[in-house]
Amino acid sequence: MHVFICPDYDALSRKAAALVADLVRAKPGAVLGFATGSSPVGLYQELIRLHKEEGLDFSGVTTFNLDEYCGLQGDHPQSYRYFMNENLFDHINVPKEKTHVPSGTAENWRDSCEGYERDIVAAGGIDLQVLGIGSDGHVAFNEPGSSLGSRTRRVYLTKQTIEDNSRFFENAADVPTSAISMGVGTIMEARRCVMVVNGANKAEALAAAVEGPVTSMNTASALQYHPDTWLFCDEAAAANLAMREYYGWIAKQMEADAS
């Protein structure tokens, strides 16, 4: 895992976006995996800027999102389809028919989930998957205790996740209690993973994911086994990393080698 500790949120967002942009330039038909939540918003803003100001072309790109709340239609303001349209898709030239978000309202969610997995395979697999991390270490909606070999499925959310996400809803009672989520096994098949993490409230979970044992109680820890994961975090999120000085030294060596 490549760990980059950045001075602030804007810096980590720019660095993460640069990796995405480099891939799109090198492979115009790239398959990108996206995440929702507050952490990747800065990355998306930078991609929008690169599209509008530097001509970054998304016309050949296909996208797959990690998850969606059960019970919310795509036009619901708190649905993840709505989030992606508002924060990225409506502002770049990616064809809407090539953007995929799991259905939270499918009559048969098992068939829908299996179809989502087939669509990823048919697209050639995900080249780069953007990720965040929950305050309890979950990645996508793979809550603590989820199988590290899990596939896209329906997940029931923990009390912690519901409380964390209640800030986006008028009433805590309105937060859905389940979601459709890519599994850890699905995520691990992406050729590259890019995780963005900011804030002191993520420090404990991030340290456990990066330096702790690989365990289903912190599903992001599975990324220790991924061959090409890039982590971009701010100083606050990195506060509990025991090897932070070493990570900083490695980052400087990588920058020197690239220049």
Q: At residue 259, does pLDDT exceed 80?
A: no
| Catalytic positions | 67, 136, 138, 143
- As a whole number of angstroms, the distance between CA 132 and CA 198 comes to 9
pLDDT single digits (tens) 215-234: 999 999 999 999 999 999 99
Taking 90 as the threshold, does the pLDDT of residue 161 lie above it?
A: no
- Which tens digits make up the pLDDT trace of 188-220? 999 999 999 999 999 999 999 999 999 999 999
Q: Would you call 90 helix, strand, or coil by DSSP?
A: helix
Both tokens of 81, joined, read 């389809």
Q: What are the domain boundaries of the chain? A: 2-67+82-100+125-148+186-258
- The distance in angstroms from the start CA to the end CA of the chain is 21
**For the range 162-169, what are the long-range contacts, defined as Cβ-Cβ under 8 Å and sequence gap of 24 or more?**
164/134, 164/135, 168/78, 169/78
CATH 3.30.300.30 for domain 2-67+82-100+125-148+186-258, yes or no, is no
**Contact between 67 and 182 (Cβ < 8 Å):** yes
Query: What's the average model confidence in pLDDT over 105-120?
Result: 97
What local confidence, expressed as pLDDT, does residue 209 receive? 98
Q: How confident is the model at residue 69 (pLDDT cuts 50, 70, 90)?
A: very high
